[in-house]
């Protein structure tokens, strides 16, 4: 694949002069005489004031000129024509993806006379109908950022909503970019760096590299109705441009430092009387950029290193040293410690309450040694007798190099390579901080390693006076590699030796993770993710061509990509190891156990519920994307500009390189085949893995990706801008467009878990003895499927906006921004129990399911009620494209530039965001996001997961006077200070309250899946106060008619609101004429506000009572007890933290500028 793409690139480069992509910018305008008539043939000369870049063109018959594919930066334009005075427009600031209008009205006179005007500090968009927002380089480098992560700055723009607990101080796998942008789902956005795809397309909620804030020139968020030049996403486009070198040699070195000595204590640690979490962090790095050859070849090099040791609190209920040796004579923790065990062979306690040593099971004892020893006495109401503040090492580093070469005044080449490395060694930061797949216990832990890379090559060519062509090649990707760590990693091998697997040939080999215990009786789960791997490669070739025809600016382009994703399915290697759950099923099979979970583990010949897979599939997915577009910007008249076009997207479905994928399709299910593992499965055409395995099921699917190709994805785009008074100060804009989404590929990965690709076993077994001859092994059952006619998700975006320039240095924008999502990705249990009395026994099936015996004893009854009863009482995950969303908002933004480099910005959004899916779940499994009732899909239409009524942000960079005319003492003490800060407020995100597990029944609704059940409403307000975010009295289960659904909509409640102020005080110190030092003092969460997160919105009631003692006769819930922490916040964001830094910046003065000619300039 790489060789083929390289050949395509070489041939393309040789075939024609080529050009740029929309992370660059463009200038267009009209040249007129004093009467407003067009002036054809005028010479227009452009010069980059920092790089020396020089371009010349001429106006066409309509007086229009265009400069395309210009690097972000500052420019000056000179207009000349015989018989008219020369006109110079200086200080033109071009930003990423700008289409800037710079027009000139020439005055009669001699061409040797020059009139110079300064461009507006802030330009109003007079050419497009998009809604977008710029984050400038000054904001990126001068605003206080906790963790120096650019992602925090996305929250400065209107329309951006972040999930609860969104933490931008992290990078790598601890971080995420799961934002909603003007009504998108959190997986619906495209992140690019210099045009290179930066999405981790497995989930679409993380990115491949985190460009250093010192390596970013600026970035823009295109949030609504952007042009046909952008694709790949149904939501926003986050368009990042890196810094390049200039004709000045410039460099910097910096170090940011902080530790816990100046930090406040987290709310929950303070309540527990504990100290501040340990913290020791250093961020340091450098930049260096400048000319290799003046005006021709420039470089920019940067490096950054983050080294952090962060305290992570871990806790749990763990066995004592005596208990793990079989001695149960010790003191107990009331309400926590299990009962004194009895010998199941006699029904009596063990002698002296101690299990004899010759009856101890070595495997069970080894498993219990995964738990640490108790080290604290539990506080009232808690069972946790182990609490430890482990220190986790988190390291990140980045190297970045960019070269810009202006070979001629018509040919330009840009190359950039960035390498990220992120490491979190054991003890790792854990699930509470965003990782997955490990228990919190330190004996056997995991080292997490994620390198990422991004390469871009772009060649741009100006063709004649009116055309530009650009070719861009990018190669981006990452790897995730997890290895064994911990305080006693050798214990993993000891456990594997003591508890043998039923199957050989494990994917993890001899280093496979130890057997899993899923926890019971208050003891936490024991599991470990390592070894595990994930690798992604994205190679993209794009070509973009633009040409001016009269009043039309035509743009056409195409994109072709080849992509790979290889990953262990299930997010963990644990799925190939033996998995146990407790308590024990009995001694030597079914019967009495000891009554004590720990004794069950320790006593020989005890059996447990058990499952195991033969190996861990790690499919390699391949897919191609083909897109092209045509767009036109039409200057209909001097005040009206119309931007229209269409983009075609063919997102081909991923396929496995070895074709080892199958998917469940209801139409292929044949009752006559019974429980055949392949019954209902589609397999890759031309292959027959089901037949090869001796099975009867399995039919050819529609293609190698097992989904019909959706090839009619034509997306129209339309925008207009009307200059109300013809002076470029007051503009009304409107836009509409359709935007198709390249969906995440983790959905397709999981199809490798369907039959017949691995053997499995379910049943009971002893810990130290595998099943004999694997008599109960099979090839499993269908686990997941997708609709063969799955359609490409898309959003319809639209807006009406008014933008007004206030003076030279301020603008205000007010916009209605909306979107409608259609064919959005949704999941459900397609084996859901149907409503009605389908078996004709006089009892509604869902009620019968609810009241059937719990556990294995009722599995046959429950399974018979499901549509695909031959697979038993089992869920089958099914993906469809029937989701929809509605987003409507008022978005405003005010921007003001003043003084010497000072600026202020404020944004506000008032929004309504509704959908029939939360749109905030990037997972690939069945979850609470699943459709509640397949027969009534509208039941799930309510507030989307990232709905927030109000979002406000403001930021300021205020430079105090340098006091150049004062004495050196006064100037040194009081001059050149800078104040900067960010203030943010948002109302709480939508929360959905769910019932959780109910004792005595199989879920209240009877659909066969309980995690998505919602309770009844009482009519009381949902809002609580303080730590009690949800009012428990707003919900009830009393009166619930079993076997029915509540009818309550999702998003009923509002989570905790968020308010935070971050502040920075900076002193700039001139060391020499060329070197400036800087000291920075930063405070995050200045007011030390407790911003609560982790709201417990699942009821999980205890002591549930019903209208009958007889389970089979129950119809109504009559009472229950809620846990004390229902509706409470379980965590809080960071308290006040303080950081200091030292920087130095050096500049070598540029050579004198070339004299400007007095007459026309030619290339």
DSSP secondary structure string, 790-821?
PPPPEEEEEEEEEEEEETTTEEEEEEEEEEEE
pLDDT at 882 over 80: yes
How large is the average pLDDT for residues 439-457? 95
Percent above pLDDT 70 for the chain = 96
SS3 label, residue 548: strand
Q: pLDDT: is 476 or 433 the higher one?
A: 476
Dihedral (Cα; 1103, 1106, 1111, 1115), 10-degree rounding: -140
Give the right CATH number for 2-118 from 2.60.40.1120, 3.40.50.800, 3.30.70.260, 3.30.479.10.
Answer: 2.60.40.1120
Q: Give tens-digit pLDDT for 1048-1075.
A: 999 999 999 999 999 999 999 888 888 8
pLDDT at 868 over 80: yes
SS3 label, residue 753: helix
Mean pLDDT value across the chain: 91
Is there a contact between 182 and 887 (Cβ–Cβ < 8 Å)? yes
Whether omega before 756 lies within 30 degrees of 0, making that bond cis, reads yes
Which residues, 6 or more positions from 765, have their beta carbon under 8 angstroms from its beta carbon? 502, 578, 607, 608, 610, 771
> Which ranges of 359-489 would DSSP assign to H, the alpha helix?
362-368
pLDDT at 18 over 60: no
Is there a contact between 1042 and 847 (Cβ–Cβ < 8 Å)? yes
* H/E segment holding residue 860: helix 859-864
Which residues, 6 or more positions from 1146, have their beta carbon under 8 angstroms from its beta carbon? 250, 251, 252, 1074, 1075, 1076
B/e letters for 938-966, b = 16+ CB within 10 Å, e = fewer, are ebbbbbbbbbbbebbbbbbbebbeebeee
Banded model confidence at residue 277, pLDDT cuts 50, 70, 90: confident
> Which ranges of 506-627 would DSSP assign to H, the alpha helix?
597-602
Banded model confidence at residue 387, pLDDT cuts 50, 70, 90: confident
**Distance of alpha carbon 224 from alpha carbon 218, whole angstroms:** 19
pLDDT at 21: 41
How large is the average pLDDT for residues 989-1014? 92
pLDDT at 434: 82
Q: Please report the sign of the dihedral spanned by the C-alpha atoms of residue 403, residue 407, residue 409, residue 415.
A: negative
Domain ranges of the chain: 2-118
Query: Which tokens is 781 given?
Result: 């059952």
Banded model confidence at residue 720, pLDDT cuts 50, 70, 90: very high
Which residues, 6 or more positions from 537, have their beta carbon under 8 angstroms from its beta carbon? 475, 476, 477, 563, 564
Query: Which tokens is 663 given?
Result: 């998917």
Q: Give tens-digit pLDDT for 68-127.
A: 889 999 999 999 999 999 999 999 999 998 889 999 999 999 888 888 888 887 889 999
B/e letters for 1034-1053, b = 16+ CB within 10 Å, e = fewer, are bbbbeebebbbbbebbbbbb
CA–CA–CA angle 605, 608, 611 (5° rounding): 125
pLDDT at 589 over 90: no
Lowest mean pLDDT among 240-254, 520-534, 555-569, 981-995: 520-534
CA–CA–CA angle 1031, 1036, 1037 (5° rounding): 150
Dihedral (Cα; 490, 492, 494, 497), 10-degree rounding: -140
Which residues, 6 or more positions from 28, have their beta carbon under 8 angstroms from its beta carbon? 64, 65, 66, 67, 99, 100, 101, 102, 127, 548, 553, 633
pLDDT at 9 over 70: no
Residues recorded for the chain: 1163
pLDDT at 903 over 70: yes
How large is the average pLDDT for residues 551-556? 95
pLDDT at 774: 61
SS3 label, residue 693: coil
pLDDT at 85: 94
Lowest mean pLDDT among 425-429, 775-779, 789-793, 843-847: 775-779
**Distance of alpha carbon 139 from alpha carbon 216, whole angstroms:** 11
pLDDT at 312: 86
pLDDT at 776: 59
pLDDT at 378: 84
Q: pLDDT: is 740 or 771 the higher one?
A: 740
Q: Give tens-digit pLDDT for 292-323.
A: 999 999 999 999 999 999 988 888 899 999 99
* Separation in Å, CA 201 to CA 208, 325, 451, 480, 793: 9, 48, 16, 14, 15
**Distance of alpha carbon 886 from alpha carbon 795, whole angstroms:** 10
Lowest mean pLDDT among 180-184, 1013-1017, 1100-1104: 1100-1104
Q: Give tens-digit pLDDT for 760-770.
A: 888 888 998 87
Q: Give tens-digit pLDDT for 590-607.
A: 888 999 999 999 999 999
Q: Give tens-digit pLDDT for 498-524.
A: 999 988 888 888 889 999 999 888 899
pLDDT at 1: 47
How large is the average pLDDT for residues 847-868? 90
**Distance of alpha carbon 1135 from alpha carbon 1089, whole angstroms:** 7
Q: Give tens-digit pLDDT for 332-364.
A: 888 888 889 999 999 999 999 999 999 999 999
> Which ranges of 975-1030 would DSSP assign to H, the alpha helix?
none
pLDDT at 1149 over 60: no
Of the candidates 91, 131, 99, the residue with the CA atom closest to the CA atom of residue 24: 99
**Distance of alpha carbon 1092 from alpha carbon 268, whole angstroms:** 10
Which residues, 6 or more positions from 816, have their beta carbon under 8 angstroms from its beta carbon? 799, 800, 801, 888, 889, 890, 891
Banded model confidence at residue 896, pLDDT cuts 50, 70, 90: very high
Q: First CA to last CA across the chain, in angstroms? A: 41
What is residue 72's DSSP assignment? S
Lowest mean pLDDT among 39-43, 163-167, 372-376, 507-511: 507-511
Is there a contact between 68 and 51 (Cβ–Cβ < 8 Å)? no
**Distance of alpha carbon 710 from alpha carbon 713, whole angstroms:** 7
How large is the average pLDDT for residues 861-878? 95
What is residue 932's DSSP assignment? S
């Amino acid at each position: 694949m790489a060789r083929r793409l390289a050949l395509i690139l070489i041939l393309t480069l040789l075939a024609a002069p080529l050009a740029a992509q929309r992370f660059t910018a463009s200038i267009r305008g009209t040249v007129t005489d004093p009467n407003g008539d067009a002036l054809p043939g005028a010479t227009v000369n452009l010069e980059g004031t920092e790089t020396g870049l020089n371009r010349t063109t001429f106006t066409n018959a309509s007086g229009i000129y265009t400069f395309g594919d210009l690097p972000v930066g500052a420019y000056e334009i000179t207009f000349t024509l015989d018989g008219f005075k020369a006109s110079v427009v200086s200080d033109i600031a071009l930003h990423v993806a700008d289409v800037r209008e710079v027009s000139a009205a020439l005055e009669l006179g001699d061409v040797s006379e020059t009139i110079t005007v300064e461009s507006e500090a802030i330009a109003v968009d007079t050419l497009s109908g998009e809604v977008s927002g710029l984050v400038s380089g000054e904001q990126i480098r001068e605003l206080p950022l906790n963790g120096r992560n650019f992602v925090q700055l996305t929250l400065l723009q209107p329309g951006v909503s972040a999930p609860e607990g969104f933490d931008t101080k992290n990078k790598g796998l601890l971080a995420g970019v799961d934002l909603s942008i003007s009504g998108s789902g959190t997986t619906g956005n495209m992140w690019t760096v210099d045009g290179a795809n930066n999405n981790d397309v497995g989930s679409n909620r993380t990115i491949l590299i985190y460009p250093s804030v010192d390596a970013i020139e600026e970035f823009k968020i295109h949030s609504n109705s952007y042009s046909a030049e952008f694709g790949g996403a149904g939501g926003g486009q986050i368009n990042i441009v890196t810094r390049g070198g200039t004709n000045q040699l410039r460099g910097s070195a910096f170090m940011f430092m902080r530790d816990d000595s100046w930090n406040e204590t987290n709310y929950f640690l303070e309540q527990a009387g504990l100290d501040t979490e340990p913290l020791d962090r250093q961020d340091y790095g450098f930049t260096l950029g400048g000319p290799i050859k003046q005006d021709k070849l420039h470089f920019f090099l940067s490096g950054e290193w983050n080294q952090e040791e962060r305290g992570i609190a871990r806790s749990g209920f763990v066995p004592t040293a005596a208990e793990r040796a079989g001695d149960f004579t010790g003191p107990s923790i009331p309400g926590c410690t299990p009962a004194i065990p009895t010998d199941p062979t006699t029904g009596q306690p063990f002698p002296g309450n101690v299990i004899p040593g010759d009856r101890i099971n070595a495997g069970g004892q080894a498993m219990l040694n995964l738990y640490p020893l108790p080290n604290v006495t539990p506080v009232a109401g808690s069972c946790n007798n182990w609490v430890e503040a482990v220190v986790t090492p988190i390291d990140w580093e980045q190297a970045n190099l960019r070269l810009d070469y202006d070979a001629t005044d018509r040919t330009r080449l840009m190359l950039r390579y960035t390498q990220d490395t992120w490491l979190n060694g054991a003890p790792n930061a854990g699930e509470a901080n965003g990782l997955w797949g490990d228990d919190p216990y330190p004996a056997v832990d995991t080292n997490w390693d994620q390198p990422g890379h991004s390469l871009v090559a772009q060649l741009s060519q100006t063709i004649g006076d009116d055309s530009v062509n650009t070719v861009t090649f990018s190669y981006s990707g990452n790897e995730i590699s997890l290895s064994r760590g911990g305080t006693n990693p050798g214990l993993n091998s000891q456990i594997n030796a003591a508890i043998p697997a039923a199957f050989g040939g494990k994917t993890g080999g001899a280093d496979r993770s130890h057997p899993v215990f899923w926890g019971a009786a208050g003891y936490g789960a024991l599991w470990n993710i390592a070894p595990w791997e994930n690798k992604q490669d994205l190679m993209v070739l794009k070509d973009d061509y633009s040409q001016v025809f009269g009043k039309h600016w035509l743009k056409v382009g195409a994109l072709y990509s080849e992509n790979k994703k290889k990953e262990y399915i299930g997010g963990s290697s644990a799925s190939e190891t033996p998995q146990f759950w407790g308590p024990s099923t009995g001694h030597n099979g079914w019967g009495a156990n000891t009554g004590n979970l720990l004794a069950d583990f320790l006593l020989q010949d005890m059996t447990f519920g058990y499952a195991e897979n033969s190996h861990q599939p790690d499919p390699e997915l391949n897919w191609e994307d083909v897109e092209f577009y045509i767009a036109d910007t039409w200057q209909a008249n001097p005040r009206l500009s119309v931007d229209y076009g269409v983009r075609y997207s063919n997102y081909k479905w991923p396929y496995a390189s070895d074709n080892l994928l199958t998917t469940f399709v209801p139409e292929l299910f044949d009752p006559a085949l019974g429980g055949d593992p392949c019954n209902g499965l589609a397999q890759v055409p031309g292959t027959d893995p089901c037949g090869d395995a001796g099975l009867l099921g399995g039919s050819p699917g529609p293609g190698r990706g097992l989904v019909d190709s959706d090839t009619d994805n034509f997306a129209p785009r339309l925008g207009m801008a009307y200059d109300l008074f013809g002076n470029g100060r007051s503009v009304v804009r409107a836009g509409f467009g359709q935007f198709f989404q390249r969906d995440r590929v983790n959905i397709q990965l999981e199809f490798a878990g369907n039959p017949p690709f691995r053997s499995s076993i379910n049943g009971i077994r002893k810990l130290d003895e595998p099943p004999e001859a694997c008599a109960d092994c099979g090839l499993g059952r269908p686990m997941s499927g997708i609709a063969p006619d799955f359609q490409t998700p898309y959003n319809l975006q639209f807006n009406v906006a008014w933008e007004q320039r206030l003076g030279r240095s301020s603008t205000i924008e007010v916009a209605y921004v909306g979107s409608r999502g259609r064919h959005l990705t949704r999941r459900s249990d397609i084996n859901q129990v149907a409503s009605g009395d389908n078996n004709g026994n006089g009892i509604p099936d869902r009620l019968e399911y609810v009241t059937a015996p719990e556990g294995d004893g009722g599995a046959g009854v429950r399974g018979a009620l499901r549509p695909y009863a031959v697979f038993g009482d089992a869920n089958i995950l099914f993906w469809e494209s029937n989701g929809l969303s509605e987003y409507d908002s008022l978005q405003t933004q005010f921007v003001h530039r003043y003084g010497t480099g000072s600026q202020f910005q404020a944004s506000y959004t008032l929004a309504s965001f509704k959908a029939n899916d939360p749109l905030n779940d990037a997972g690939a499994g069945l979850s609470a996001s699943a459709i509640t009732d397949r027969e009534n899909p509208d039941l799930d239409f309510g507030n989307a997961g990232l709905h927030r009524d109000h979002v406000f942000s403001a930021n300021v960079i205020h430079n105090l006077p340098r006091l150049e005319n004062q004495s050196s003492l006064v100037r040194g003490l009081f001059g050149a200070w800078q104040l900067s800060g960010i203030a943010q407020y948002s109302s709480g995100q939508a929360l959905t309250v769910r019932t959780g597990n109910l004792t005595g029944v199989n879920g209240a609704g009877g659909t066969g899946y309980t995690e998505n059940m919602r309770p009844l409403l009482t009519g009381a307000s949902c809002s609580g106060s303080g730590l009690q975010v949800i009012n428990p009295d707003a919900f009830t289960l009393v009166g619930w008619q079993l076997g029915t659904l509540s009818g309550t909509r999702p998003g009923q409640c509002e989570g905790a609101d968020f308010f935070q102020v971050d502040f920075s005080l900076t002193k700039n110190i001139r060391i020499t004429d060329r070197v400036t030092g800087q000291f920075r003092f930063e405070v995050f969460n200045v007011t030390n506000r407790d911003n609560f997160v982790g709201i417990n919105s699942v009821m999980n009631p205890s002591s549930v009572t019903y209208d009958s003692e007889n389970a089979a006769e129950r119809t109504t819930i009559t009472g229950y007890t809620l846990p004390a922490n229902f509706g409470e916040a379980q965590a809080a964001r960071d308290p006040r933290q303080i950081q200091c830094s030292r920087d130095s910046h050096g500049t070598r003065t540029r050579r004198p500028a070339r004299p400007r000619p007095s007459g026309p300039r030619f290339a």
